[in-house]
Amino acid sequence: MRAITLGSHKAILALATTLWILQAVATSGSLALLFVNPAANSLARSQTDPTDVLKYAIFTGLICTSLPTFTKVSLRAYQHECKRE
């Protein structure tokens, strides 16, 4: 098996990080378009004042609710990588 050089490892890591950020942006955009906007419109039907804050509140609430899952998955991935060494 061929050894991976430090330069190629850095390139793979940079590509993986870029793709991970792109995935996070796409997921956040999908969440906002497909769930947050309709939910905010549904909640704000009877309001007469500007309701832009509701969109941000719903989005932030969903992100905060999913943070424990993100943390748990990250911890499992870290533990899996540490077992290899």
Amino acid at 78: Y
Question: Tens digit of pLDDT for each residue in 6-18?
Answer: 778 888 889 988 9
- Give the model's confidence band at 4: pLDDT under 50 very low, under 70 low, under 90 confident, else very high: low
* Measured distance CA(60)–CA(66) in Å, rounded: 10
Cα dist. 39→28, 31, 51, 58, 68 in Å? Answer: 15, 11, 12, 8, 23
Q: Where are the domains of the chain?
A: 6-84
Residue at token pair 């905060």: 64
pLDDT of residue 77: 83
